[in-house]
Amino acid sequence: MSSDSPNPVFHAILDECSLADNTMEIVELQGEKIAVIKRLGKIYALDNNCPHLGGSLGRGTLKDNCVICPLHHWTFDLSTGKCVNGVPDEKVATYETKVENGKIMLKLS
């Protein structure tokens, strides 16, 4: 079966009610640490590791539509993963999410 399957695999990672608005949780899925963020009612998921020195984005702070790394304050857009201060060509992976039957679902690729 090709990886371009028309039915992408989503994994249940959290109960939606366990993630309050404007908070973050770090989950591990298939060996990947992922920061799951609920911001203004929308669910985002990004690679947890800042590309600068590996700071935990899930332990950072939220401002506007961004997460700020706790180590050196590199700031990443929640929608695109692009660094908006720091090194502009840097980015972190983002993951598709959805809510289904009260569960936050995540697709790794």
Average pLDDT, the chain: 92
Nearest CA among 44, 7, 51 for reference residue 27: 44
CB 105, CB 10: distance < 8 Å: yes
How many whole angstroms separate alpha carbon 37 and alpha carbon 43? 6
Which CATH number does the domain housing residue 88 bear?
Answer: 2.102.10.10
What percent of the chain is predicted at pLDDT more than 90? 84
Quick check: is 22 in a domain? yes
Quick check: is 96 in a domain? yes
Nearest CA among 50, 66, 48, 68 for reference residue 58: 48
Over residues 56-89, the pLDDT tens digits come to 999 999 999 999 999 999 999 999 999 998 777 8
pLDDT band per the 50, 70, 90 thresholds, residue 99? very high
Quick check: is 1 in a domain? no
For the entire predicted model, the pTM comes to 0.89
Give me the domain span that covers residue 99: 11-107
Predicted pLDDT of residue 3: 47
Quick check: is 5 in a domain? no
